A and B are shown apart, each in its own frame.
Chain A
């Protein structure tokens, strides 16, 4: 079945650590996105990538970094510079980056700072 796989489902981070969240898709989609959700709120865009080897900052990129070396993969690193990283992180993809098409989401990663 085609879809978007995020791992791990739950992640615990100590203060000062960098952690990387995985997002893989087998939908052959060009564009991929990372969103953050805080309790009781909607989603906000962290980073997006329209094609391989290209990515752009979203609304809340500070303290995060990404890479897009393969079409299928768009990992997100939460760095120690992110002051409040505890949140639910969702990865999404759309078929074309330059046109408006339906977005599909992975199951999410719940990150907690301990």
Chain B
């Protein structure tokens, strides 16, 4: 099946700093999503971005599907940005080529923002 690798595994920042999180995937994808898992465990949708660039406030994301990677940018980080960031993809090759929306997750990037 498709492999998803996220880097870095851990990231420690001072409040106000900028950061870039990376997601590499091993095959073509139909869907790519970025999530933030808060301290209570809930997965918050950040971006649905199978290709192109999107921005939402201090966060933006870019997916270059032909080169099999996606980047999540966090600018002017705040302590509330702390948590785990996951990249997840849907591959058209799962289930014998019939996609059923199964998300394959990376291991996540643990972000800690200090005041």
Contact = CB atoms under 8 A, between A and B. Distances in A.
B48 A102 contact: yes
A33 B101 CA distance: 9
B31 A100 contact: yes
B41 A88 contact: yes
Interface string A74-105: 00000000000000101010100110111111
A48 B99 contact: no
A48 B103 CA distance: 11
B86 A107 contact: no
Main secondary structure of the interface of A (DSSP, over half): strand
A interface, size bucket: 20 to 34
B interface, size bucket: 20 to 34
A88 B84 CA distance: 15
Contacts, number: 68
A36 to B, nearest CB: 11
Given A100-B90, A108-B42, A110-B41, A43 B31 contact: no
A107 B30 CA distance: 25
A56 B100 contact: yes
B63 interface: no
Contacts of B24: none
Contacts of B40: 107
Given A48-B100, A97-B100, A102-B33, A42 B105 contact: yes
A42 B108 contact: yes
Q: Specify which of B41, B42, B105, B108 lies most central, judged by the most chain A CB atoms within 10 Å of its CB.
A: B41
Contacts of A98: 100
Contacts of B100: 31, 48, 50, 56, 97-98
Contacts of A44: 105
B106 interface: yes
Nearest to A88: B41
Given A97-B101, A103-B33, A105-B45, 9 more contacts: A33-B102, A43-B103, A43-B105, A50-B101, A56-B100, A100-B90, A103-B88, A103-B101, A105-B43
Interface in B73-110: 86, 88, 90, 99-103, 105-108
